[in-house]
Chains A and B, each alone.
Chain A
């Protein structure tokens, strides 16, 4: 069954729940929010991500009503909120410090907002019980906040802010006070609760991993402006600026000058001229092992069950296409994608081929952003369009991963992240080794500047 993708921001008919319209907030000379316009949709889990002082907390406090914008408008469900005090907004906030009332029990803390609404006792009791169950706090209802653990306090704060069933829940660094393991568990719990209650969540965090995990969209902020708003994968894979690429995760930035590539595939020898001879005269790459073959069971499975989708299995595995008549090099079996740009990054090196680069950038100074995990490292020159020689300077061992710091010959230092599929004793690359760092022509992102 196909699941519809949740993307109200792509639907022009969808009405946003929250609208920031040219909002500016100044504290004296300091501009906390700078002419910001942004829509947030119902049922979204929207993350505001940025370093401290970027204005993300101010944005949240404006939503809650603790600050009023100096200029511009905030609309919630189309209603101007500029002069609505916090206690009259269908918005609740979960505070960074949790702000639980120390003189009240867990039960009374959760009931606090409901009592202010003047609901009758049974309704309040029923709702509090519901919240206690949702956050699995039933056993702690009678305790005072100082008698429960940090994780439980966090859940009380969440239950209290959800009790009034707000249209919008604001979470200010909600997991900052928890240790790493508990934080990860709680992130999934938060997503669960958000799904169950259908509330719109806006979360402020400086932890990019947290934002990526929980959010449907992430807004990366810097100096009072939103630099990019996109889904977590887009933010990661296609950052729109060096700032975003650098802020989210680890990144290698290679600066250079862009040159448009001709539409037809550039012949391989032109991409990799022989001007840089292999430093150690490395032998050609080892022949590929035979492609995996299905066993009898797999063949039966395909022919009896899966053939409506996949078709019957050919009696013989598909032959590789016949080698081209002129140059029987293995490269042409996987032709380099056409278009894009070539990046001249260092003297004496062939340009880097970036097939997804914007040809409009030709002639400009650009930066290629490459994620460390999208790079490969090998002792022998691999058979890819982009292979840069270098020397291993440092190896960071993280258990599941290793990060190699490779000083490119005549170029910058890059990080290469490799999954440790083999035991460390069998690692064949070590310090001071001459290696090749390679990546495909589409794994990077070309950014201006």
Chain B
């Protein structure tokens, strides 16, 4: 019995904080918009008994999901989110891998310091850091002033409120999530493996591709998922740094919910987003599982 209780604790947690909210969101997504409080129909009225329950379920329909397919804003937003997530994951990988590599190859006494520098930004609020980027990237921002001062450009660049700014913000914010797993994979690697590869006829470069990259594969996969999954639903960065041209599903969701007060459509958007995210999450967990088996 006690064992059962112990196992039940995490399940109760999941049920109370994930499953029940999700069921509520799912229910709202199947409801209709109403000028009421809360702004949707029908409401579950248990006092009406069996009949009330029947009419409640009868009022639920997939109208909102059908609506999502009729307006091309939504699927464009999904696709655009996926594209931005994919590109920014690739850019983060390209930036993060050399950093992680350099950290892993640094003298052992420097590694804790470098690691600390990577984690350091987390000590400041994420929102403040994004606002700081607004100050850097705006037309009168630090970057433009610096470039004007050096004479590289004669008129300020428009970076803020473009997709470029969104990419900069995302890569900056999520870089530690890419660096840390790759660093931990590279740091564990035995240097003599590279010497062995060279000894067996590899050049430095082919030793990197044939030994270093395969051995950091799990770190790369983990880092990519840790960046890709949250970026799909990212809302703060596109709304603060992006412009009107930046289409991301997180922003659409926010607007449906708060600006249009259309909770049912916003919920439908959220349900679809969740379904899209479930696929990479499952893939990510499979990778973790495989890695554990390989190490065990």
In the complex, chain B residues whose CB is within 8 Å of the CB of A160: 200
Closest-by-CB residue of A relative to B211 is: A101
In the complex, chain A residues whose CB is within 8 Å of the CB of B215: 101-103
- Would you call B199 and A86 a contact (CB within 8 A)? yes
**Chain A CB within 8 A of B168 CB:** no
Q: What are 15 A-B residue pairs whose CB atoms fall within 8 Å in the complex?
A: A65-B199, A92-B199, A92-B200, A95-B192, A95-B195, A101-B193, A101-B196, A101-B211, A101-B215, A112-B197, A113-B200, A116-B200, A116-B206, A146-B294, A164-B201
- Would you call A95 and B198 a contact (CB within 8 A)? no
Bound together, the chains give a CA A416 to CA B202 distance in angstroms of 54
**Chain A CB within 8 A of B21 CB:** no
Additional pairs, 12, CB under 8 Å, beyond known A93-B196, A99-B196? A65-B198, A65-B199, A66-B198, A86-B195, A95-B192, A101-B196, A103-B214, A112-B200, A112-B210, A113-B200, A116-B200, A116-B201
Contact with A along B206-236 (1 / 0, CB 8 A): 1000110011010000000000000000000
**Chain B CB within 8 A of A64 CB:** yes
- Would you call A97 and B192 a contact (CB within 8 A)? yes
CB distance from B74 to the nearest CB of A (A): 42
- Would you call B198 and A87 a contact (CB within 8 A)? yes
Give the A-B contact count at a CB cut-off of 8 A: 59
The bracket for how many chain B residues form the interface is 10 to 19
Contact with A along B173-199 (1 / 0, CB 8 A): 000000000000000001011011111
- Would you call B200 and A66 a contact (CB within 8 A)? no
CB distance from A99 to the nearest CB of B (A): 4
The 3 A-B residue pairs with the shortest CB-CB distance in the complex, in nearest-first order: A113-B200, A116-B201, A99-B196
Identify the B interface with A (CB < 8 A). 190, 192-193, 195-203, 206, 210-211, 214-215, 217, 294
- Would you call A66 and B201 a contact (CB within 8 A)? no
CB distance from A135 to the nearest CB of B (A): 16
CB distance from B192 to the nearest CB of A (A): 4
- Would you call A99 and B192 a contact (CB within 8 A)? yes
**Chain B CB within 8 A of A117 CB:** yes
- Would you call A87 and B199 a contact (CB within 8 A)? yes
- Would you call B201 and A99 a contact (CB within 8 A)? no
- Would you call A113 and B214 a contact (CB within 8 A)? no
- Would you call B196 and A87 a contact (CB within 8 A)? no
CB distance from B186 to the nearest CB of A (A): 14
Bound together, the chains give a CA A113 to CA B210 distance in angstroms of 12
**Chain B CB within 8 A of A396 CB:** no
